[in-house]
Amino acid sequence: MWVGLGSDGGGRSNAHHRSMECIRHPLPGERSLPTLVRVPWLAWLEKRREGTLIRAVVRADASWLVRTGTYVAALTGLLWAGLTNYLFFHAAVEGFSVVVAALVYVLASCTYRYTNDDLLLFIGQAHVVIAALDFLHLLSYQGMEVLAASCPNTSAQLWIVGRYLSGLAFLALPFFINRRIPHPLILAGLVALASLFLWAIFVGKIFPSCFAPPVGTTRFRILSELAIIAMVATGAVLLRARRAQVDAALYRSLMVAAACIVGSELCFTARYDAHGVVNIVGHILKLAAYNALLQGVVMKGLKQPFDSIFAKLQASAVRDPLTGVYNRHGFRLAAQHEMNAASQRGSGVATLMADLDNFKRVNDTFGHQAGDEVLKQFASILTASVKPTDTVARLGGDEFVVLLPGAGLDEAQAVADRIKRSTRAWIQSARIAAGIDVSVGVVVWSPSMRADIDALVHEADEAMYAEKEAKRGGRKR
């Protein structure tokens, strides 16, 4: 049996109603956005998840074992390669570092329009310049015989130059947090600094010696390694002081990279054998630092922006783009859920159909843009007139519907009266809304009724049009 009301509170009949506490939750397919309430919605889904909890834990443990086994195998292979064929090991590690550094730049620059993160872009710009220096270091390494100027000292000088840029980049990181930077100018400055170093090594030949046979590593190189450690550590401390302003995943990746760089430089400072275990560990730590940087850039530059985009797309499937309330599809999902919940709890669902009288006059007089503003204001009034647990939706045009889970006839009529008072108060103060009015139809559904969502909407619509007829002096329903 339906209970329907127009504006004056007249109804067809009475029905059993019982209030209940009901919480509206994200609809199926709707991701949790900042404006939505995220609480468990479908109880049956949670029950099904409980049955799969143990299997999920087993799969997580298996995945952890696979990752751990992979890391251990890779570490063992690198150590074995370094001890048996150091030239191959050096070429593999440095080559991988160059590729990762170039990839960091590509990802940071290509995703900048999604992230708008100048810190991330600076990391990419710095590392693409460092990649160029490391590539020259790789080509000039003794045994590669690619560059004409190849010798142990030239290779060591290029190595130190690359590490200096790495240390300076880490030291400068905190200054690029939440700041707009002239991107071409920064990249040009980094290229100019690298070019100055290269001129000092290959042309001017004024760059201090870093390797002098038979002594080996020079005092300048040792002091340089210590200076680089100090720069990276200082940058990490400054970054930690502003961690609240940095993306959590990127911050963790940068701190891991900083720790690995410091450990790597300590290994190169303390080494006694250029091909020994300490030197091999230093290169492996450098590899780990670049891997951490790559993961941070991928998480910040790719995964998070696209997750946000997909969440917005999913939300748009149930949200009206003009007013921000639910659309017709979102309303049907919400109504179905509330009717199912009401059937389980033995309570009812009140539905309000609201429509703006003479709305066409606004479009004809002031234009469709003014009409859109009227619709957005009306949606705001509806949202402000109900509880956060209720549902407001726009079915199309100037027709809106409100779901009041657990509400009885009196409560629903009180909400309808509140909507009318607020709307009419706004109409009196808004020039573009002059001449319009609001009509609200009220019906209450109970579990004993064998009616679907379409029937619910139809009855609410009938009640609303009965009110319109009453305003025209016609017969009330």
Mean pLDDT, residues 122-142: 91
Q: Name the class of domain 85-315.
A: mainly alpha
Which residue, among 91, 87, 125, 85, has the nearest Cα to 105 in the 3D structure? 125
Joined together, the tokens standing for residue 398 give 């100037």
Mean pLDDT, residues 199-226: 89
The conformational region for residue 29 under phi > 0 = left, psi -120 to 50 = alpha, else beta, is: left
C-alpha to C-alpha distance for 442 and 401, rounded to whole angstroms:
10
Tell whether the model's pLDDT for residue 4 goes beyond 80.
Answer: no
Which architecture, in CATH terms, is 3-30+319-471? Answer: 2-Layer Sandwich (3.30)
Angle at 67 between CA 61 and CA 68, to 5 degrees: 85
pLDDT digits (tens, 9 = 90+) for 64-112: 677 777 778 878 888 888 888 888 888 988 998 999 888 888 888 887 8
Joined together, the tokens standing for residue 333 give 């999902």
Centre a 10 Å sphere on the Cβ of residue 212 and count the other Cβ atoms it contains: 15
pLDDT digits (tens, 9 = 90+) for 247-299: 788 888 899 999 999 999 998 887 666 677 888 888 899 989 988 888 877 76
Centre a 10 Å sphere on the Cβ of residue 51 and count the other Cβ atoms it contains: 8
Residue keyed to tokens 């290029």? 158
Q: What is the pLDDT of residue 34?
A: 39
Q: What is the mean pLDDT of the chain?
A: 80
Q: Residue 393 pairs with which residues in a beta bridge?
A: 326, 401
What residues does CATH 3.30.70.270 cover in the chain?
3-30+319-471
Tell whether the model's pLDDT for residue 43 goes beyond 90.
Answer: no
pLDDT digits (tens, 9 = 90+) for 391-410: 999 988 889 999 999 888 88
C-alpha to C-alpha distance for 48 and 45, rounded to whole angstroms:
5
pLDDT digits (tens, 9 = 90+) for 322-347: 888 989 888 888 888 888 888 888 88
Angle at 57 between CA 46 and CA 63, to 5 degrees: 130
Joined together, the tokens standing for residue 216 give 């080996």
Q: What is the pLDDT of residue 59?
A: 57
Q: What is the pLDDT of residue 223?
A: 92
Centre a 10 Å sphere on the Cβ of residue 312 and count the other Cβ atoms it contains: 12
Joined together, the tokens standing for residue 9 give 């509170």
431: Cα separation from own chain's centroid:
41
Which residue, among 129, 19, 143, 97, has the nearest Cα to 446 in the 3D structure? 19
Residues of 350-384 as b/e, b for ≥16 C-beta within 10 angstroms? bbbbbbbbebeebeeebeeebbebbbebbbbbbbe
What residues does CATH 1.20.1070 cover in the chain?
85-315
Q: What are phi and psi of 25, to 5 degrees?
A: -125, 170
End-to-end CA distance of the chain: 15
